[in-house]
Structure 1
Amino acid sequence: MNCKTLTALVVIAANLPGQALAHTGNDHIHGIASGFLHPFFGLDHLLAMIAVGLIAARLGHSALFRLPLAFVSAMVAGAAYALTGVTVPLVETAIITSVVLLGAALIANAKIPVTLTITGAATFGFFHGFAHGTEGPAAAPLGHILGFVGGTVILHITGIAACHLLARHGTGPMPALRIIGTGIMGAGIGLAFIA
């Protein structure tokens, strides 16, 4: 995937939520904006979503698309489940655990089966989505969901692009991915102490 393709994908993803509800009221616009910004201003969400992109790019082949798709699909399911009013215990613990484990996966570079990796990404996505769903504006839940889907896709693409850029420079991406993974895992551990 070249830089022009990645740039085009980012532009398209950034505009999808706005285009989907361009002719609706202000509540939906507010919902889209709050949903879109949520992954960028929550360090736990930001790190996990970039890590999913990095891992997807490192695995390559079908995982390049299947891993982010599993995360986003489960995230939407988690948000929809939250809108039913049901409570799920230990959501924040699961989110912080996802940051630590995704960082550890980058460090280890283990040969984990793609199916298991996708299942893990979907599980993490569900908890991230549940948190998004509980924190969104009640007046515009659909707009909020569309917004955070757009934000998440951009963060996944950012991780994928970063991995591809690292692969083009030096001896390969693994030393840099291990450093990034150490930072992500360390941040997750830090978040566990302040949560």
Structure 2
Amino acid sequence: MNLRKSLYALALFLTPAVAFAHPGHDQAGLLAGLSHPLLGLDHLLAMLAVGLWAAQQRGATRWVLPLAFVASMLLGGLLGFAGLRLPLLETGIAGSVLAFGLLVAVAARLPRAMALGLTGLFALSHGVAHGLELPALASPWTYAAGFVAATGALHAGGYALVRYLPQAAAPLVRLAGAATAGAGVWLLAG
């Protein structure tokens, strides 16, 4: 019986709010969630770089890194929705652009636990930022669905770039990583 109640509570928790006074908020939340990672240079570069870096890996790490990013980002989004504010949040996000750019530039293959920890930590800061910027009157669930979908698309785009380009283009991917790292330095300085 307790399991059934827990499942009902979880289902209610995961159901978007439907009691708005007038329609359109869910679409606004979804569109805002989709646009946040795409229109913020810091989010855009970091998420593309995660896809690039994942594609440079071997074995399961190729798909585990993007999944870890999305899961940690979603957790951070929930914390942001709840009002959690992290110190130096923007510095952490800019630092992720620098770090992921460097990892792509050198095609780093870290031990999986270290790669996942680093990815999860940076993703958490991106998620908190997304959660704190929830538009007024938007459903947090459609907003979260939007930023998760956009993040997944950016990861997939970066991954596809590396996996489907000829091997001769690998130096260009590394150059893109170096440019991303440079943007991270610029973001940290600004």
TM-score for both structures, normalised by structure 1: 0.82
Contact in 1 for aligned 2:85/2:128 (Cα 8 Å): no
| Structure 1 pair 32–62 and aligned structure 2 pair: CA distance change class (3 A) | same
Following superposition, which runs of at least 4 residues in structure 1 exceed 3 angstroms of deviation? none
1:150 paired residue number: 149
3-state secondary structure, aligned to 1:110: coil
Measured after TM superposition, the shift of residue 97 of structure 1 is 0.3
1:75 paired residue number: 73
The answer on 1:185 being equivalent to 2:181 is yes
Measured after TM superposition, the shift of residue 128 of structure 1 is 0.3
- Higher Cα Rg: structure 1 or 2? 2
Amino acid at match of 1:142: W
Q: Deviations over 1:61-91 (max 9, x none)?
A: 2112110000000001001011112221111
2:112 paired residue number: 114
The answer on 1:96 being equivalent to 2:94 is yes
Following the alignment from structure 2 to structure 1, what is the Cα–Cα distance between the partners of residues 64 and 121?
Answer: 14
42, 45, 64: which one aligns with 1:47: 45
Following the alignment from structure 1 to structure 2, what is the Cα–Cα distance between the partners of residues 147 and 123?
Answer: 21
TM-score for both structures, normalised by structure 2: 0.84
1:128 paired residue number: 126
3-state secondary structure, aligned to 1:88: coil
Following the alignment from structure 2 to structure 1, what is the Cα–Cα distance between the partners of residues 54 and 144?
Answer: 23
Measured after TM superposition, the shift of residue 111 of structure 1 is 3.2
Following the alignment from structure 1 to structure 2, what is the Cα–Cα distance between the partners of residues 160 and 86?
Answer: 31
Measured after TM superposition, the shift of residue 176 of structure 1 is 1.8
3-state secondary structure, aligned to 1:59: coil
Structure 1: which 5+ residue stretches go unaligned? 1-19
Measured after TM superposition, the shift of residue 101 of structure 1 is 0.6
Following the alignment from structure 2 to structure 1, what is the Cα–Cα distance between the partners of residues 130 and 41?
Answer: 13
Following the alignment from structure 1 to structure 2, what is the Cα–Cα distance between the partners of residues 158 and 110?
Answer: 19
Following the alignment from structure 1 to structure 2, what is the Cα–Cα distance between the partners of residues 67 and 49?
Answer: 11
**RMSD (CA atoms):** 1.8
Percent identity between matched residues is 37
